[in-house]
Amino acid sequence: MQDGFELSIILPASVERIYSAWLTSEGHTLMTGSTARVDGQIGGEFSAWDGYIFGRTLELQPPHRILQAWRTSEFPEDVVDSRLEILLQPAEGGTQLTLIHTGIPEGQQESYRQGWQDFYFTPMRVYFSKP
């Protein structure tokens, strides 16, 4: 069985700025604090956190939606990629980023939920708060 969850955060930046940061090597690196390699087009591959996270971009609806096939080095080899959907909408104070992560291998859901908070949302809040 596979699990999933949804998380949301308000970031003090425009939809376009966050979308661009997610889909470029430089932006993704700066917003997370860890080197990332991102080919930001449909079919493009990405990796982050020293290759711990990797996958490819499946769909783009600029600047509001990103859908990626996503996995980590902890996924069992026989498990298909999970799906990561990023939705960006203008909100009071900036942009609401909603992250929907589905197809996570059994037993790993809480680890990834906490990982998104610690390794993405926390550094992103700091990065996008800078002028």
d(CA 5, CA 87): 14
Nearest to 15 by CA among 66, 60, 63, 57: 63
Rounded Cα distance between 6 and 40, Å, is 23
Domains of the chain: 2-129 (3.30.530.20)
Helices 122-129 and 15-22 pack at an angle, to 10 degrees, of 120
Q: What integer is the mean pLDDT of 120-127?
A: 98
Other residues' Cβ atoms within 10 Å of the Cβ of residue 61: 11
pTM of the model: 0.95
Tens of pLDDT along 11-31? Answer: 999 999 999 999 999 999 999
pLDDT digits (tens, 9 = 90+) for 93-108: 999 999 999 999 999 9
